[in-house]
Chain A
Amino acid sequence: MNRESDRNLRAAETGGDDFLYRSIFRSMSEGCAIYRLEYTGRKATDYTVIEINPAYESIMGVTRERAIGSRASVLFPGEDHRCLEFFHRVAESRFPVNFITHFAAKDRYLRISAFLLDEEQVVCICSDITEQQKAEESLLAMKRKLEQSNEELSATVEELEATNEEFEAQNEELILAHQELAQSEAKFMSVFRVAPVGIGILKRRLFDLINNKIGEMTGYREEELRGHSALLLYPSKEEFDRVGRELYSQIAAHGSGTIETKWRCKDGSIIDVIVGASPIEPGDDTFVTFTILDVTKQKRYEADLKKGEAKFRLMIERAPYPMFITDETGNIDYFNDKFTEIFGYNAADIYLTDQWWQLAYPEPAYRAKVRKSWSSAVRKARAENREIDPQEWEVTCRDGSVKIVEFSMVPIGTISLIIMNDLTERKRTQQLLIQNEKMMTVGSLAAGMAHEINNPLGVIMQGAQAILQRLAVDFGHNQEVARKIGIDLELVRRYMEERDVVDYLNGMREAGARAASIVSNMLQFSRRSQTRKVAADIHSLIDYTLQLAASDYDLKKHYDFKNIRIVRRYQPDIPEVYCIITEIEQVILNILKNAAQSMSESTDGDEEPEIVITTRQEDSRIVIEIADNGKGMDEETMHRIFEPFFTTKEVGKGTGLGLSVSYFIICNNHNGTIDVASEPGKGARFTIGLPLEGIQS
């Protein structure tokens, strides 16, 4: 097209179809202008607009009127000189040039084709390629950016590749390390999980991590504790603060701390725990690992143990039996209060076992016997690891009294526990029971026998009486019968007297009477008193009995009661006692008779015979004491004095039933007690106890 325009323009210039060319020129879509180069010397320094078309006007923003004849430097001030240089080159070389320039005034990119019209004139065809150019430019910019990025990327890739190699090498190590780590973590986690202690981590006393055990202990789930203050588990704020203070000060001082405290579980129960704590980073107590040991059971066990120990100690201390404990060498290690109470010996008396032997068994032969029996029993017990068969010995107490004691021994390891049982009272009670039984037997026998015995006794006694009567000179039909058979009754009577037959017959009667009275007395043992008990003033009862004793025919015969000094020590205002008055009188009379007899036999002539009668109330019973200063009695007599038929009196003076009957009356009929205390030469003291509540019978 350029060639064609060139030709057209040439034709136009040569004056050919001028109009045609002019109309093409005017309707062209490209801008078209004719410039005349202005030279300074040989160099074109400016150009002047000769002609422009409408397209040019719109592209360049100038009007034809203003443009034609104007110099470019005036028309387009400030534009670069690239156009001028290109036009100059066209003029010099006579070859067309195409170039692109930036029209700054309108910020437009223009493609310019320029060719030489004649020596001084240049045709310039320009089209606006601003859009094109801008798109290109942005493409280019993008391309440059991309290229730059690409460069950077390549660099990075290189680096990366290098790093990757290193990394892969490291990675292998890491994989190994990681496997180990995973293993050890698994191990740790399993320990953490199944540890029998609570383990956890606190962050500034807030739970960060806890194991199952803590859940088990407290009843809280992990999520209920995590993030919460440990205060949740303390029974009080004070305790929480105390534990915090103590633990963190221990940690500060030693790097770790331990403290015992109490936790409150979810259900409200309190457990005893030992808390151990240590910071994860030494010196920084932000994160603290802690362990919890539940010692509730141990605590309780300890407390129980302590309580149990105290209980058992108390049991031995307060035991109603004397006990002592010997160590492995046989020395007395301990004895209880009851031991001292019963035997009187204290720690100062028997700190060595041998002292016990000496004191308890002062008689050497007896001691040797006890020791021998004891050591063989202990040996046997130790060998078989069981308690000994109980042994009974007479132990001398500190006050000199003798007690019947049963010994048991239990070996406990190397030590021995010796338990004693004071049988003295029991033995005595047993004796009394036996005695009572004996009397009951006699009583029931007597009841059965009485009738059978009394009939033959009647025959004997009445027979004897009848014989005596038949021998009497002045009785009934005696003389009449004697005369009828031709004998002198007087002589028969004298013969009988000479030959003591009368005495024999009287003796038979008396013996019969005595036998009858024994039977009668024996019957008392079987006879439940049918008489009702009445309330009686014990003092007037005693006084009346003293009167009876003073006028007693038997007493008068042997020992005059009036010579005995009677001392009454009555407790004033003593309550009345329900009793069978005649029976109690009988008992007192019996004792008085015995006392009188004993005093008459006393060899101590200087002492005035004296009976002291004392009365007093002891709790729910009345006690009557009758003490004489007679000859007293030995232990054997004392033990047997209430036995039926036991008597120290010479034959004929007593039946041996008086005190048995007394015993029966007091113990059986009145539910009371009767007792005697005496020593040879020191008189005797009978003590009668009558219950005050004997109203029911």
Chain B
Amino acid sequence: MSGEGLRILVLDDDRMICTLLRGFLEESGFLVRTATGSEEALELLDVERFDAAIVDIRLPGMPGDAFVLQARRVQPAMVFIIHTGSINYQVTPELAEIGIGQEDVIYKPVLDMDDIVRAILRRIKP
């Protein structure tokens, strides 16, 4: 599976998750940036263009879903994958309004990180 140079932002407060996803995605051909907080991630959005973001919901500071709403305003073309450890997480109406569905939610822990790649590519290349 190839990332074909797509630019991915990984937002997760668990540094190890960031590292693991970055390693896997880079090996798969993506260009990856990581951030451990929403504020840091928004700063990155100001200086770089991204095709997609993998976003954790429970974060210190601004929660993941609030970040998604702001990011969409900064870079409207971006797609978002929710990657959460809260098993009973359901897509909020606000996120649903901007086109994010339950199929864009991937629950931690993932057995196969290819599931994440597939989810990103499904959105970018239908």
Task: Confirm or deny: B28 has a beta carbon within 8 angstroms of a beta carbon on chain A.
Answer: yes
Contact of B87 among A476, A477, A520 (CB under 8 A): A520
Q: Is B17's CB under 8 angstroms from A455's CB? A: yes
Measured between C-beta atoms, what is the minimum distance from B93 to chain A in Å?
13
Q: Which residues of B contact A509 (CB under 8 A)?
A: 111
Interface digits, A512-544 against B, CB 8 Å rule (1 contact, 0 not)?
110010011001000100100000000000000
Task: Confirm or deny: A668 has a beta carbon within 8 angstroms of a beta carbon on chain B.
Answer: no
Interface digits, A476-506 against B, CB 8 Å rule (1 contact, 0 not)?
1100000000000000000000000000000
Choose among A452, A453, A465 the residue with the greatest number of B CB atoms under 10 Å from its CB.
A465
Cα A280 to Cα B87 in complex, Å, equals 109
Task: Confirm or deny: A323 has a beta carbon within 8 angstroms of a beta carbon on chain B.
Answer: no
Q: Is B109's CB under 8 angstroms from A475's CB? A: no
Q: Is A469's CB under 8 angstroms from B24's CB? A: yes
Q: Is A455's CB under 8 angstroms from B85's CB? A: yes
Contact of A475 among B27, B87, B88 (CB under 8 A): B27
Q: Which residues of B contact A453 (CB under 8 A)?
A: 85
Interface digits, B1-39 against A, CB 8 Å rule (1 contact, 0 not)?
000000000000010110011011011100000000000
Q: Which residues of A contact B20 (CB under 8 A)?
A: 459, 462-463, 466
Task: Confirm or deny: B97 has a beta carbon within 8 angstroms of a beta carbon on chain A.
Answer: no
Q: Which residues of A contact B24 (CB under 8 A)?
A: 462, 465-466, 469
Measured between C-beta atoms, what is the minimum distance from A499 to chain B in Å?
23
Q: Which residues of B contact A452 (CB under 8 A)?
A: 85
Given A459-B16, A462-B20, A462-B21, are A454 and B109 also a contact pair (CB < 8 Å)? Answer: yes
Q: Which residues of A contact B90 (CB under 8 A)?
A: 530
Cα A519 to Cα B112 in complex, Å, equals 18
Task: Confirm or deny: A460 has a beta carbon within 8 angstroms of a beta carbon on chain B.
Answer: yes
Q: Is A477's CB under 8 angstroms from B17's CB? A: no
Q: Is A462's CB under 8 angstroms from B86's CB? A: no
Task: Confirm or deny: A457 has a beta carbon within 8 angstroms of a beta carbon on chain B.
Answer: yes
Q: Is A465's CB under 8 angstroms from B58's CB? A: no
Q: Which residues of B contact A520 (CB under 8 A)?
A: 87
Please name the residue on chain B nearest to A509 by beta carbon.
B111
Measured between C-beta atoms, what is the minimum distance from A445 to chain B in Å?
14
Cα A452 to Cα B58 in complex, Å, equals 10
Q: Is B86's CB under 8 angstroms from A450's CB? A: yes
Task: Confirm or deny: B45 has a beta carbon within 8 angstroms of a beta carbon on chain A.
Answer: no
Task: Confirm or deny: B108 has a beta carbon within 8 angstroms of a beta carbon on chain A.
Answer: yes
Task: Confirm or deny: A81 has a beta carbon within 8 angstroms of a beta carbon on chain B.
Answer: no
Residues of chain A from 427 to 457 with CB closer than 8 A to chain B in the complex:
447, 450-455, 457
Task: Confirm or deny: A112 has a beta carbon within 8 angstroms of a beta carbon on chain B.
Answer: no
Measured between C-beta atoms, what is the minimum distance from A189 to chain B in Å?
101
Q: Is B28's CB under 8 angstroms from A462's CB? A: no
Task: Confirm or deny: B77 has a beta carbon within 8 angstroms of a beta carbon on chain A.
Answer: no
Residues of chain B from 22 to 67 with CB closer than 8 A to chain A in the complex:
23-24, 26-28, 58
Task: Confirm or deny: A458 has a beta carbon within 8 angstroms of a beta carbon on chain B.
Answer: yes
Measured between C-beta atoms, what is the minimum distance from B114 to chain A in Å?
9
Q: Is A460's CB under 8 angstroms from B86's CB? A: no
Measured between C-beta atoms, what is the minimum distance from A474 to chain B in Å?
11
Please name the residue on chain A nearest to B90 by beta carbon.
A530
Measured between C-beta atoms, what is the minimum distance from A247 to chain B in Å?
95
Please name the residue on chain B nearest to A450 by beta carbon.
B87
Measured between C-beta atoms, what is the minimum distance from B64 to chain A in Å?
12
Q: Which residues of A contact B23 (CB under 8 A)?
A: 466
Contact of B58 among A451, A475, A476, A519 (CB under 8 A): A451
Q: Which residues of B contact A457 (CB under 8 A)?
A: 108-109
Q: Is A523's CB under 8 angstroms from B109's CB? A: no
Task: Confirm or deny: B113 has a beta carbon within 8 angstroms of a beta carbon on chain A.
Answer: yes
Given A459-B16, A463-B16, are A527 and B107 also a contact pair (CB < 8 Å)? Answer: no
Task: Confirm or deny: B110 has a beta carbon within 8 angstroms of a beta carbon on chain A.
Answer: yes
Q: Is A469's CB under 8 angstroms from B27's CB? A: yes
Measured between C-beta atoms, what is the minimum distance from A202 to chain B in Å?
99
Measured between C-beta atoms, what is the minimum distance from A634 to chain B in Å?
35
Cα A277 to Cα B11 in complex, Å, equals 116
Cα A459 to Cα B16 in complex, Å, equals 6
Given A454-B85, A530-B90, are A465 and B27 also a contact pair (CB < 8 Å)? Answer: no
Contact of B17 among A451, A462, A519 (CB under 8 A): A462
Contact of B14 among A455, A461, A465 (CB under 8 A): A455
Cα A453 to Cα B23 in complex, Å, equals 22
Cα A454 to Cα B90 in complex, Å, equals 16
Cα A477 to Cα B28 in complex, Å, equals 9
Cα A454 to Cα B106 in complex, Å, equals 12
Contact of B85 among A450, A461, A462, A530 (CB under 8 A): A450
Contact of A519 among B16, B26, B28, B87 (CB under 8 A): B87
Q: Which residues of B contact A516 (CB under 8 A)?
A: 108-109
Cα A454 to Cα B88 in complex, Å, equals 12
Cα A81 to Cα B63 in complex, Å, equals 187
Cα A455 to Cα B20 in complex, Å, equals 12
Q: Which residues of B contact A519 (CB under 8 A)?
A: 87
Q: Is A454's CB under 8 angstroms from B16's CB? A: no
Contact of B108 among A458, A469, A475 (CB under 8 A): A458
Choose among B14, B27, B85 the residue with the greatest number of A CB atoms under 10 Å from its CB.
B85
Measured between C-beta atoms, what is the minimum distance from B102 to chain A in Å?
13
Measured between C-beta atoms, what is the minimum distance from B103 to chain A in Å?
18
Q: Is A461's CB under 8 angstroms from B111's CB? A: yes
Q: Is A523's CB under 8 angstroms from B88's CB? A: yes
Q: Which residues of B contact A463 (CB under 8 A)?
A: 16, 20
Measured between C-beta atoms, what is the minimum distance from B10 to chain A in Å?
12
Cα A393 to Cα B27 in complex, Å, equals 72
Q: Which residues of A contact B14 (CB under 8 A)?
A: 455, 458-459
Q: Which residues of A contact B109 (CB under 8 A)?
A: 454-455, 457-462, 512-513, 516
Measured between C-beta atoms, what is the minimum distance from A414 to chain B in Å?
68
Q: Which residues of A contact B28 (CB under 8 A)?
A: 476
Q: Which residues of B contact A462 (CB under 8 A)?
A: 17, 20-21, 24, 109-110, 113
Please name the residue on chain B nearest to A460 by beta carbon.
B109
Measured between C-beta atoms, what is the minimum distance from A109 to chain B in Å?
168
Please name the residue on chain A nearest to B21 by beta carbon.
A462
Contact of B110 among A458, A476, A523 (CB under 8 A): A458
Given A463-B20, A469-B27, are A527 and B88 also a contact pair (CB < 8 Å)? Answer: yes
Choose among B20, B27, B28, B87 the residue with the greatest number of A CB atoms under 10 Å from its CB.
B87
Measured between C-beta atoms, what is the minimum distance from A85 to chain B in Å?
182
Q: Which residues of A contact B110 (CB under 8 A)?
A: 458, 461-462
Cα A477 to Cα B112 in complex, Å, equals 19
Cα A527 to Cα B90 in complex, Å, equals 13
Cα A281 to Cα B100 in complex, Å, equals 122
Q: Is B27's CB under 8 angstroms from A476's CB? A: yes
Q: Which residues of A contact B107 (CB under 8 A)?
A: 454
Cα A447 to Cα B27 in complex, Å, equals 35
Q: Which residues of A contact B108 (CB under 8 A)?
A: 454-455, 457-458, 516
What are 27 contact pairs spanning A and B, CB under 8 A? A450-B85, A451-B85, A452-B85, A454-B85, A454-B87, A454-B109, A455-B85, A457-B108, A457-B109, A458-B17, A458-B85, A458-B108, A458-B109, A458-B110, A462-B110, A462-B113, A463-B16, A465-B24, A465-B111, A465-B113, A466-B23, A469-B27, A476-B26, A476-B27, A516-B109, A519-B87, A530-B90
Listed from nearest, the 3 A-B pairs whose CB atoms lie closest are A476-B27, A454-B85, A458-B109
Q: Assuming A454-B86, A459-B14, A462-B21, what are 11 further A-B pairs, CB within 8 angstroms? A: A459-B16, A459-B109, A461-B111, A465-B24, A466-B24, A469-B27, A476-B27, A476-B28, A513-B109, A516-B108, A527-B88
